[in-house]
């Protein structure tokens, strides 16, 4: 750790640990499966960044799932092509 003489600026090396839960489930977009609803209902909304290939395959099911559970659902569809997977895009 480095600090200026008056300690008005301090430089330090820090790290953090993130803990998360991963759940594996089948038929997660079946409206009778409450897994996603139980996560997003208390938050009042779901904001999703979706690969355009995923949107083509599951977009209608995603829309129907969140509508069925009364969850405000906003999606941003992005290109899933390898050429587009760059931090500058």
CA distance 11 to 76: 37
Q: List, for residues 54-79, the tens digit of each pLDDT value.
A: 999 999 999 999 999 999 999 999 98
Higher-confidence residue: 48 or 87?
A: 48
* Closest C-alpha among 76, 29, 28 to residue 52: 76
Higher-confidence residue: 14 or 50?
A: 50
Give the global pTM.
Answer: 0.73
CA distance 45 to 71: 5
- pLDDT category, 5, cuts 50, 70, 90? confident
């Amino acid at each position: 750790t480095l600090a200026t003489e008056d300690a008005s600026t301090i430089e330090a090396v820090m790290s953090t640990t993130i803990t998360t839960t991963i759940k594996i489930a089948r038929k997660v977009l079946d409206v009778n499966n409450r897994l996603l609803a139980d996560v997003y209902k208390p938050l009042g909304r779901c904001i999703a960044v979706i690969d355009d290939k995923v949107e083509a395959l599951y977009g209608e099911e995603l829309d129907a799932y969140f509508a069925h559970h009364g969850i405000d659902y906003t999606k941003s569809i992005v290109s899933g092509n390898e050429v587009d997977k760059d931090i500058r895009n």
